[in-house]
Amino acid sequence: MPTSQTNNTMPSQSKVTGFFRQLFAKHNTEIASTQGNTPVANAVSPSPVAPTIPGINGGIQKAAALTYGQYGAQVCAAATGSNHVLPIYLQQAYNNSYNEQANNVNLQQQRTQQLVGQVSQLQITLKSYQQQIQKWTNDIETDKKEIKGYKDKITDLEESTYQTNKDAKTKLIIGLFILIPLSFYLLLFYSSTIFSAFFKDFSQSGGSLKESMFDASAISSSFSQSLFQGSFVMLAPFIFMGLGFLLHFYNEQKTWSKWLKSGSIVAITFAFDCILAYKIGSNLYHLDIIQGLLPLNSPDYSISYAVSDVNTWAVIFCGFIVYIIWGLVFDMAYTAYGELDDRKIQIKALNVKIDDAKNNINQTNINIQTRQNDCTDIQKEIASLQNQIQKGVIISIQQIKTDVNDFFAGWMQQMKILNATPGNMQDANQIYTKFVGLTFP
């Protein structure tokens, strides 16, 4: 249904009248200029055609059988396309459309019933929103009571005696049972491989893959060469243990970036193991050449050769795989240690529930505010519709605008039939545009 408005929405008469006066003053001046340049003050010139076109209170009236397009063509034909009467008949078309709606009893009854129906529907929606607001308000009170209950439970748990979590204790014992030997393994493996990769002289001491990965004298031999080398060989394995701890640390984070960080740690460790494996494989390869196991003209030890060398993969998997296992076991043991006190687990779970309840309250308050704004808008709309119903006459300004537009379309169509000049048609468009701007702001 078009937007309904009452008869107090008629355009400002002073604006339209002023518009007419300006138009006729301009037209009179033009007439005077064609009659010896003698202006006629306050005169309304007759139509330059045979039939005179009177003003609003007379002239050509719209027949009920005519459409507004036909009415516009009829008036334009009678005026032979003269634009000086166009604003008068634009206003006449406005008044006709207004009166047709105002005097149509069935239409007014129909529109009144439609408005009453809209008010009824809006009142139902308003009541539904108010009930929803009440329900949300009750939910907030329920959440507040739950938060108070959770806090009371936390207080009771904090005041209670220590309670051991048996599952966590079992995981911790098993984790330590696996973690301690693996730590010695990594200490021996990485001290041996680092010594073999960077400091061991294979040409003098000889060597094999086993001695390169598990050299019991690696630390002592490195210290015999220099304090710096010994310190490096002894402390380097702790780098890998630190990387394993970082895996646990990033795993506890709750953002998506933890996967990127953990992946970076694993990639760095794997790359370092590959370097160690490549260095050891290269040393063993050149030792085989020195010992005559390989011909002297053997190609250089390259990355492509290392990829196919079983020694390379043996070093990588004996170090990297154990490192991954060590990191997972450390994460399990550390997590189990934090869960030894059963009270802490329960308190942590209660704090999570408290945070969830607070988030629910905040979101519900936002929903309530939104619904309250909706209720305010609906109440304003109901008041506006009731005001239109009480005034008795319901006018669709959109329908009037459509009728006026149809009238002007008929006028312009007739001007084309009359072979009006482009200048006259442009003047008609300007008159219509200005009329619409004043009448339908």
Contact of 277 with 315, CB cutoff 8 Å: yes
Mean predicted lDDT score pLDDT of the chain = 79
Whole-angstrom distance, CA of residue 197 vs CA of residue 278:
8
257-296 confidence digits (pLDDT tens) = 878 888 888 888 888 888 888 877 777 777 667 656 666 7
Tokens of 290: 């020195």
Taking 50 as the pLDDT cut, the residues of the chain under it are 1-57
Whole-angstrom distance, CA of residue 238 vs CA of residue 329:
16
Give the CA distances from residue 426 to residues 297, 421, 429, 431, in Å, rounded to whole numbers and listed in that order: 98, 9, 5, 9
pLDDT of amino acid 373: 96
24-51 confidence digits (pLDDT tens) = 444 333 333 333 332 322 222 233 332 3
What is the Cα Rg of the chain in Å?
Answer: 48
Give 57's contacts (C-beta < 8 A, 6+ positions apart).
none
Whole-angstrom distance, CA of residue 408 vs CA of residue 402:
10
pLDDT of amino acid 98: 92
Give 202's contacts (C-beta < 8 A, 6+ positions apart).
283, 284, 286, 287
Collect contacts of 312-316 with beta carbons under 8 A, ≥24 apart: 312/274, 312/277, 312/278, 312/280, 312/281, 313/277, 314/209, 314/213, 314/277, 315/193, 315/209, 315/212, 315/213, 315/273, 315/276, 315/277, 315/280, 315/281, 316/270, 316/273, 316/274, 316/277
pLDDT of amino acid 319: 80
- DSSP secondary structure of 366-394: HHHHHHHHHHHHHHHHHHHHHHHHHHS--
Of 342, 363, 351, 362, the C-alpha closest to 147 is 351
Tokens of 92: 């006449």
Whole-angstrom distance, CA of residue 230 vs CA of residue 224:
8
Tokens of 32: 């005077």
